[in-house]
Amino acid sequence: MMMIIIIIAVQNKVLKRKQTRKTVDRSKSMLDLRSVLPLPSWSNMSVLREAEKKILLHLWDSLETEYVPIYSGKWKLRTISMNKESKATPLVLVHGMGAGLGLWVLNLQFFARVRPVYALDLLGFGQSSRPEFPNDPMLAELEFVESIEEWRKSMNLDKFILLGHSLGGFLSTSYAIRYPDRVRHLILADPWGFPEPPNEAEQRTPIPTWIEVLARLLQPFNPFAILRAAGPLGPSLVSKLRSDLMQKFGHLFEDNTVADYVYHCNAQNPSGEVAFKVMTEGFGWAKYPMINRITDVPAFIPMTIIYGSRSWVDSGVGWQVKYMRSDSFVDVQVIKGAGHHVYADRADMFNLLVSRSCIVIDQHIDRTSTLSKRKRMRSESSPSLSQMESSIRKPLTTRRSSKNLVSESEVPETDDEKAARVRFSLAEEDDEELNNPNSNSF
């Protein structure tokens, strides 16, 4: 991801200097080296399908795999799921830039122990459809978001916990703004695209001349163009450039399984890749930073933000989000020793933090359901009980004939009246908690 951002950064820097009065349509001007040089294609969807199966092989028997149709079958989103029979709140996983659902291999089984888990390839990535995205950054973002909503409808999901990594965290937040009633909890793993880009005066380090020259040469091409042009050497190139990523999965795979998967994910038509570049400017900054929209996420949606202590993503933004959403629950966690791929660097700690957040949501839902049931039962109570509750609330009345006037405080309370008073007291407490949106245990 860092290499991609560096390439995009220098491309955008040069492009910005070239733009004066005329706006450049970047998505149409971007090319692959294969469109310039007569290079053969060394990958296709069939090869990617085999690479995905290989990376998920030890989970394959417990997975359900499908191509979920969206927009009445116009496109499809590759989806895997586990433990769909569980009644707990579902967890939906959204990967980052240049990745695919297979990279959740260290997390799927742990999450699926107690709840349904779904992972999908974003539109334009992995085995999902790769359409042409709009050239406008906001419209490209909206295309991603609407495809997730169409997927939700096809999967017949009502409410769920949404977890997104990097670009997936950015898009998950955008989804929560647009469809808040569907999100029980928003979990962001090292999310990209939140801070404002610094202006040129704030950039302390000037761009070296050789980088600008390289940027001019690479400017017409997509970020992964070189990877696609590498052909059969692509997986080896991934292994060398991203040896850290290979090490994260080393205890599962001794060969190039992960490198093959990453290469074939990015060796297809660069649809989502183009959309990502359209959404960026400068040194990989989002054109429309999420920090400026974070207060549009309704206060009733709790958020958990998990960073890696060694990541290039600034965890300070998470605390800024917490400050800006002071009326809502925001939990910021930093996992020591983890980098940008926090879900794989320290999978054990990441899995525990996510599971804890999910369990808290389940408990809150159970508590709310119990309070609602109590209130419904009270509304269906017998008239005699309602009358007793009403009589208990009356201050110092008389319950004797005029011949033997005695104040209520002097009359012994009957068992029925005591039971009604206790029940009414509990009912008032339940009403206060149920009607107060800020009274939660998060």
Q: Where are the domains of the chain?
A: 2-366, 381-435
347-379 and 415-435 helices, crossing angle to 10°: 130
- The residues with which 31 forms a beta bridge, in sequence order, are 221
Give the pLDDT confidence of 37-92 residue by residue, as tens digits.
444 556 789 999 999 999 999 999 999 999 999 999 999 999 999 999 999 999 99
For residue 436, the model assigns a pLDDT of 52
| Cβ proximity of 337 and 346 under 8 Å | yes
Per the rule left: phi > 0, alpha: psi between -120 and 50, beta: everything else, 71 is left
For residue 28, the model assigns a pLDDT of 41
Cα 185–190–195 angle (5° rounding)?
100
For residue 365, the model assigns a pLDDT of 72
For residue 399, the model assigns a pLDDT of 42
Helices (H), 230-382: 234-241, 243-248, 257-266, 271-278, 316-324, 342-345, 347-379
pLDDT-above-70 percentage for the chain: 67
Cα 396–400–402 angle (5° rounding)?
105
Give the pLDDT confidence of 169-187 residue by residue, as tens digits.
999 999 999 999 999 999 9
Give the pLDDT confidence of 376-419 residue by residue, as tens digits.
666 665 555 445 445 544 444 444 444 444 444 444 555 655 55
Spatial distance between the Cα atoms of 157 and 174, rounded to a whole number of angstroms: 18
In order, the DSSP letters of 76-88 are EEEEEEE-TT--S
Beta strands 280-281 and 330-335 are unpaired
Question: H-helix or E-strand containing 416?
Answer: helix 415-435
| Cβ proximity of 187 and 355 under 8 Å | no
| Cβ proximity of 101 and 265 under 8 Å | no
Give the pLDDT confidence of 257-296 residue by residue, as tens digits.
999 999 999 988 999 999 999 999 877 899 999 999 999 9
For residue 43, the model assigns a pLDDT of 73
For residue 70, the model assigns a pLDDT of 98
**Domain 2-366 architecture:** 3-Layer(aba) Sandwich (3.40)
For 278, residues 6+ apart whose C-beta sits below 8 A from its C-beta are 26, 27, 133, 134, 135, 136, 137, 140
Cα 237–238–240 angle (5° rounding)?
65
Question: What is the phi/psi pair of residue 222, to 5°?
Answer: -75, 155
137-155 and 271-278 helices, crossing angle to 10°: 130
Spatial distance between the Cα atoms of 302 and 317, rounded to a whole number of angstroms: 17
Say which amino acid occupies 91.
L
Give the pLDDT confidence of 302-325 residue by residue, as tens digits.
999 999 999 999 999 999 999 999
For residue 387, the model assigns a pLDDT of 52
Residue in 233, 234, 108 with CA at minimum distance from that of residue 163: 108
For residue 34, the model assigns a pLDDT of 46
Per the rule left: phi > 0, alpha: psi between -120 and 50, beta: everything else, 12 is alpha
